[in-house]
A and B are shown apart, each in its own frame.
With several copies, the nearest count.
Chain A
Amino acid sequence: MFILREAFRGLSKNKLMALVTFGVMFFSLFIFGLFLISTVNLFLLIQKAEEKVGISAFLEDELSDNEIESLKRDISSLMGVQEVIFVSKSEAFEKFREDLGEDSDLLEALETNPLPASFDIKLYESFKDPKNLESISRKVDAMPGVEEIKYGEEWVKILDRVVKVLVGIDLILGVIISFSSIFVVANTIKLTVFARRKQIEIMELVGATHRFIISPFLVEGVIEGILAGGFASGLLFGIYNIFAARLGDFIQVTRELFIIVVVFGTLLGYIGSHISVKKFLRAPIGTELPKGK
């Protein structure tokens, strides 16, 4: 087809420009991909950390099974509570021994089990902020039979602050990277079109329709975008694979991520070309006298 032929002659005749466009796109998409991977893993990390957030309600020692049952029901019915797990005195001791690990020897010196029974209260995601934790904790604390409440106030506050900061930075970087990518790529393409503006002008004068002039540029842009996206995600995947074995599940990369990068590249190429070429088509009718560049 004529347009495809034109696109390929455009690419091969203007190797420098094709190369630069490809390079800029590749770089942008690589960074974009890195950013995506970081973001996804950041959120996975946050999720993991938040999974650990929960409330422990320590019980008085002399509660009957019935009282425990009804207490459990009461707690479960609170808003935001997902699950309530009972931990008996002996389970608590066992867990403590495990936690101590090598130091556990010294528990043998103990004669009674000083640890209380407790409820581990798991909350829904959206209730894991300091405020909700506090209000739920207070409600549980007020229930009869509950001796003490612990939910790692300080730790939750730190986590909450860190998450907010990280998500904030991530958002800002995301906006900057996305916009910079689009801006830089679009303008690079504009530059390559600019270098051919005389040719575009001549085509118009010889009676080529705008579609006829634009189409090869669009095809060029899309080809470059797909290639750049492909190479960028290829490289990212390569780097990931080198370290994948050693990373365990510390960093995760999914196939969708690469598809997103390629799609973003294609869009960049298409939109960038479209905007750019349009700029160099002659001033539409009615505007003063043209050519003043």
Chain B
Amino acid sequence: MIQIYDTDVVFHKEWYALKNINLKIEKGEFIFVTGPSGCGKTTLLRLMYMDIFPTKGEVIVAGYHSSSIKSKEIPFLRRKIGVIFQDFKLLQDRDLFDNVSFALQVTATPRKQIKEKVLKTIADVHLSHKRDSFPYQLSGGEQQRVSIARALVREPFILLADEPTGNVDPESTKQILELLKDINASGTAVIMATHEIHLVKKSPFRKIVVKMGEVIEDTKDNLKEEIFLDNL
């Protein structure tokens, strides 16, 4: 499904945002990517939806190679992927319903089907009562849930979730995790970046710990708390 070989990402010369990454993610896996602020979680996910390209190495997602993909193919890659962005990236001039349905409109889904699917997904994230609200009329947590709904509505093969619970309360966090686990159970690979280590620590899923741009841990075992401390 996703393979990353010997990949570096360098934003400024000599400064590695990601260094020597090697990863293989299979169909239907559930993976946590964790690590301290600024370690490179978002950058890793951006590689996967080909928002950026590796400075060195190769990223292969759903059969598309980062070294040979054409401009025209990128939209089709992205349609196979659902992304929950850390900064939501909502269309400011569309209301909640339109924001979610937009993800289906780009794939030319029939109208009726769009409406049905969108309404269901909005209900899943408990936002039915806000369907006519514009992003600026929503609270931080509500916006985050819109972003989640937009990623889920397309029932993607791969779901990239960048801190999907950063702006919601513990109760909502639990619900969102359930949602992600559900969709994973239906066969979607879920890769979730999070800094909430207590969420991850004792989970039975695969956990990738990034620090200073390098993968320092890739395991299904429990993580130790010290992993975030400065002096590792």
Q: List chain A positions with a Cβ less than 8 A from chain B.
A: 2, 13-14, 198-199, 201-210, 212, 284-286, 289-293
Contact B136 A205 (CB under 8 A): no
Q: A207-B79, A291-B52 are in contact. List 16 more A-B contacts (CB 8 A).
A: A2-B108, A203-B102, A204-B74, A205-B49, A205-B83, A206-B103, A207-B75, A207-B103, A207-B107, A208-B75, A208-B106, A209-B72, A209-B75, A210-B75, A289-B52, A291-B136
The chain B residue sitting closest to A10, CB to CB, is B93
Considering the chains assembled together, what is the distance between the CA atoms of A291 and B52 in angstroms? 9
Chain B 42-76 interface 0/1 with A at a Cβ cutoff of 8 Å (1 = within): 00000001011101000000000000011110111
Contact A212 B106 (CB under 8 A): yes
Interface class of chain A by DSSP: loop
The one of B9, B51, B92 in contact with A199, judged by C-beta atoms closer than 8 angstroms, is: B92
B93 CB to nearest chain A CB (Å): 5
- B89 contacts partner chain A, Cβ-Cβ < 8 Å: yes
Considering the chains assembled together, what is the distance between the CA atoms of A290 and B49 in angstroms? 13
Considering the chains assembled together, what is the distance between the CA atoms of A291 and B77 in angstroms? 19
Contact B91 A199 (CB under 8 A): yes
Contact A202 B52 (CB under 8 A): no
The one of B11, B51, B69, B108 in contact with A205, judged by C-beta atoms closer than 8 angstroms, is: B51
Considering the chains assembled together, what is the distance between the CA atoms of A293 and B137 in angstroms? 10
Contact B78 A2 (CB under 8 A): no
B147 CB to nearest chain A CB (Å): 10
* Chain A hits for B70, CB < 8 A: 285
Considering the chains assembled together, what is the distance between the CA atoms of A293 and B135 in angstroms? 11
A65 CB to nearest chain B CB (Å): 85
* Chain A hits for B69, CB < 8 A: 285
Contact B93 A204 (CB under 8 A): no
Contact A284 B92 (CB under 8 A): no
Closest 8 CB pairs of A and B: A207-B78, A207-B79, A208-B106, A209-B75, A202-B89, A207-B75, A284-B71, A13-B93
The A-contacting residues of B in range 27-54, CB under 8 angstroms, are 49, 51-53
- B150 contacts partner chain A, Cβ-Cβ < 8 Å: yes
7 A–B pairs (Cβ distance < 8 Å), ordered by A: A205-B49, A205-B89, A207-B79, A210-B75, A212-B106, A289-B9, A289-B55
- B105 contacts partner chain A, Cβ-Cβ < 8 Å: yes
The chain A residue sitting closest to B106, CB to CB, is A208
B71 CB to nearest chain A CB (Å): 5
